[in-house]
């Protein structure tokens, strides 16, 4: 058992939910869980404070009363009719707070350094949404623009095989010490690598992990991508290991598992949490549910849209398109998209339409706000082999999930329109992945979750 001294963090009790808005301006088997080398004790979790987030329903009394009714009866009637039902958000969600202490665990064929560099701020389970994502160090230039729009907790799992550990840690130091102060405030970094590609050394103390950056005016470490160990060794990118590590480490009940190059529209956290507090009719339905966000691509010279109105204008003039429209249009277009785009934007975030992953959207790969209860991603699949989210989509379909598509909330890819390019080597891997899914993974899922008409990988 190995336990590393945790980095000190600032409990969120010192900053309530209102402070969040103010500060922001707003290959291993997937079935096998991680073999943890250390499990945080209950006493390690920050002390819970009384929750102030509530769901409130108020009914007003009539201004008129029946003649002859006694004053006492009138008062009693008024009190009954104006009763306020208060239910803490924590109770509504049924969530428990989680520790963000450092720990080491083995996950299949991978070693994982959970919470290796934790954010300074810790979040209660009912306080926010965590954007969970994955990358290697060459993609860390996306973190600041992502954080600038998200303004909330981010959990990122970084693939660091062999010598890539060194430039990855250097990149984290650079971001925390030379970049936006929001990085140190909100972002928690996890590291993972294969058992055959363990780094030569791994710093353990806070002093070594947070060693000062010598020169903040020097180019960021991620600009030297050509020297990456992963590329030199021709390693596949274990995308779903990263997705699962980042998601499982989030301390909030709600999570948005996404890609680091997808930037959310501003105000998603505040708008969605308000939607949860309101408990609009779609949220009261008994079936399991997730909340997809429509995704878009922009021309390389365009700035990110500030809101839906600006996005729709860009769609009309052709400077924005739906995600992967020129690569796989069926994979990411949400149900009722034309109606979504033509609907007049409303204040806040709401459910626009409830869809299913069936029919025309049989192979839909939505990116959504969900919870820790949702199925994880199969860790036998790689990014290079494609279809890495399809098996999760099948499971969601069989479990009869409802997809509550959000209005006034969306994701925008880093500017640049993707086009279909021939890649023979990747196509070979894709064929092998397809065979693995059809012959091995799908039969397993059918045994474990059953079969439902209209569901497919």
Instruction: Report whether pLDDT(229) > 70.
Output: yes
Q: What is the pLDDT of residue 68?
A: 46
Secondary structure of the chain as H, E, C letters: CCCCCCCCCECHHHCCHHHHHHHHCCCCCCCCCCEECCCCCHHHCCCCCCCCCEEEECCCCCCCCCCCCCHHHHHHHHHHHCCCEEEEHHHHHCCCCCCCCCEEEEECCEEEEEEEECCCECCCCCCCEEEEEEECHHHHHHHHHHHHHHCCCEEEEEECCHHHHHHHHHHHHHHHHHCCHHHHHHEEEEEEEECCCCCCCCCCCHHHHCCCCCCCCCCCHHHCHHHCHHHHCCCCCCHHHHHHHHHHCCCCCEEEECCCCEEECCCHHHHHHHHHHHCCHHHHCCCCEEEECCEEEECCCCCCCCCHHHHHHHHHHCCEEECCCCCCHHHHCCCCHHHHHHCCCCCCCEEEEEECCCHHHCCCCCCEEEECCCCCCCCCCCCCCCCCCHHHHHHHHHCCCEEEEEECCCEEECCCCCCCCCCHHHHHHHHHHHHHHHHHHHHHHHHHHCCCCCCCC
111 pLDDT band (50/70/90 cuts)? Answer: very high
Q: What is the pLDDT of residue 225?
A: 83
* Residue 251 forms part of a structural domain: yes
Instruction: Report whether pLDDT(27) > 80.
Output: no
Instruction: Report whether pLDDT(45) > 80.
Output: no
The whole-number average pLDDT for the span 321-331 is 85
Question: Domain check: are 256 and 284 in the same one?
Answer: no
**Rounded distance between C-alpha atoms, residue 77 and residue 61, angstroms:** 8
The whole-number average pLDDT for the span 276-282 is 93
Question: Domain check: are 385 and 251 in the same one?
Answer: no
* Residue 47 forms part of a structural domain: no
The range of the structural domain enclosing residue 138 comes to 1-12+96-260
Instruction: Report whether pLDDT(73) > 80.
Output: no
Q: Which of 123, 84, 78, 80 is nearest to 100 (CA)?
A: 123
Out of 35-44, 99-108, 332-341, give the one with best mean pLDDT: 99-108
pLDDT in tens, 329-378: 778 889 999 999 999 888 999 999 999 998 888 889 999 999 999 999 99
Number of domains present in the structure of the chain: 2
pTM summary value: 0.82
Phi, psi at 200, each rounded to 5°: -65, -35
State which of 203, 231, 260 marks the end of a domain.
260
Q: What is the pLDDT of residue 79?
A: 42
State which of 260, 294, 313 marks the end of a domain.
260
pLDDT in tens, 168-207: 999 999 999 999 999 999 999 999 999 999 999 999 999 9
Could you give the C-alpha distances from 443 to 437, 438, 448, in angstroms and in order?
Answer: 8, 7, 9
Question: Domain check: are 218 and 143 in the same one?
Answer: yes
Instruction: Report whether pLDDT(26) > 90.
Output: no
Question: Domain check: are 204 and 299 in the same one?
Answer: no
Question: Domain check: are 255 and 284 in the same one?
Answer: no
Question: Domain check: are 138 and 212 in the same one?
Answer: yes
Question: Domain check: are 285 and 250 in the same one?
Answer: no
Instruction: Report whether pLDDT(287) > 70.
Output: yes
318 pLDDT band (50/70/90 cuts)? Answer: very high
Q: What is the pLDDT of residue 331?
A: 82
* Residue 440 forms part of a structural domain: yes
Q: What is the pLDDT of residue 430?
A: 95
Q: What is the pLDDT of residue 191?
A: 99
* Residue 46 forms part of a structural domain: no
* Residue 34 forms part of a structural domain: no
* Residue 67 forms part of a structural domain: no
* Residue 22 forms part of a structural domain: no
* Residue 373 forms part of a structural domain: yes
Within 10 angstroms of residue 14's Cβ, the number of other Cβ atoms is 11
Q: What is the pLDDT of residue 87?
A: 65
Question: Domain check: are 317 and 365 in the same one?
Answer: yes
Range scoring the smallest mean pLDDT among 70-74, 236-240, 428-432: 70-74
State which of 204, 230, 260 marks the end of a domain.
260
Instruction: Report whether pLDDT(30) > 50.
Output: no
Q: What is the pLDDT of residue 47?
A: 40
Q: What is the pLDDT of residue 70?
A: 52
pLDDT in tens, 387-445: 999 999 999 999 999 999 999 999 999 999 888 888 999 999 999 999 999 999 999 99
Question: Domain check: are 330 and 439 in the same one?
Answer: yes
Question: Domain check: are 101 and 147 in the same one?
Answer: yes
Q: What is the pLDDT of residue 420?
A: 81
Q: What is the pLDDT of residue 48?
A: 40
Question: Domain check: are 252 and 311 in the same one?
Answer: no
Instruction: Report whether pLDDT(2) > 70.
Output: no
How much is the mean pLDDT over the chain? 85
Tokens of 354: 């409830």
**Rounded distance between C-alpha atoms, residue 230 and residue 163, angstroms:** 9
Question: Domain check: are 368 and 413 in the same one?
Answer: yes
């Amino acid at each position: 058992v190995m336990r590393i001294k945790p980095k000190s963090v600032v409990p969120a009790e010192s900053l309530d939910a209102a402070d969040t808005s103010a500060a922001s301006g707003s290959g291993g088997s997937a079935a096998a869980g991680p073999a943890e080398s250390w499990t945080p004790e209950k006493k390690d979790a920050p002390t819970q404070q009384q929750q102030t987030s509530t769901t409130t329903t108020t009914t007003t009394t009539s201004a008129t009363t029946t003649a002859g009714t006694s004053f006492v009866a009138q008062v009693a009637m008024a009190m009954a009719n104006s009763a306020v039902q208060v239910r803490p958000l924590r109770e509504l969600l049924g969530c428990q707070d989680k520790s963000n202490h450092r720990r080491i665990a083995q996950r299949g064929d991978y070693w994982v350094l959970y919470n290796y560099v934790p954010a300074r701020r810790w979040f209660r389970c009912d306080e926010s949404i965590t954007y969970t994502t994955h990358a290697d160090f060459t993609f860390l230039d996306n973190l600041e623009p992502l954080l600038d729009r998200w303004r909330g907790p981010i959990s990122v799992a970084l693939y660091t095989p062999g010598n890539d550990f060194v430039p990855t840690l250097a990149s984290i130091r650079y971001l925390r010490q030379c970049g936006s102060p929001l990085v140190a405030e909100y972002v928690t970094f996890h590291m993972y690598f294969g058992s055959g590609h363990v780094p030569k050394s791994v710093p353990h103390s806070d002093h070594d992990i947070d060693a000062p950056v010598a020169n903040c005016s020097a180019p960021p470490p991620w600009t030297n991508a050509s020297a990456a160990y992963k590329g030199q060794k021709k390693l596949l990118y274990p995308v779903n290991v990263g997705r699962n590590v980042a998601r499982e480490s989030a301390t909030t009940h709600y999570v948005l598992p996404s890609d680091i190059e997808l930037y959310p529209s501003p105000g998603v956290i505040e708008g969605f949490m308000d939607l949860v507090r309101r408990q609009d009719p779609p949220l009261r339905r008994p079936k399991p549910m997730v909340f997809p966000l429509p995704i878009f691509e922009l021309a390389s010279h365009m700035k990110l849209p500030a809101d839906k109105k600006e996005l729709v204008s860009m769609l009309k003039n052709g400077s924005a398109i739906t995600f992967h429209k020129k690569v796989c249009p069926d994979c990411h277009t949400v149900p009722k998209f034309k109606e979504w785009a033509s609907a007049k934007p409303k204040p806040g975030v709401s459910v626009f339409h409830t869809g299913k992953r069936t029919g025309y959207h049989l192979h839909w790969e939505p990116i959504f706000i969900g919870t820790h209860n949702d199925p994880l991603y199969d860790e036998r699949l790689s990014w290079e082999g494609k279809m890495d989210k399809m098996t999760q989509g099948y499971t969601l379909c069989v479990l009869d999930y409802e997809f509550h598509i959000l209005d006034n909330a969306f994701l925008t890819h880093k500017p640049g329109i993707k086009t279909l390019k021939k890649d023979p080597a990747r196509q070979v891997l894709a064929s092998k992945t397809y065979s693995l899914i059809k012959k091995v993974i799908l039969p397993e899922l059918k045994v474990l979750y059953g079969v439902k008409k209209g569901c497919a990988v």
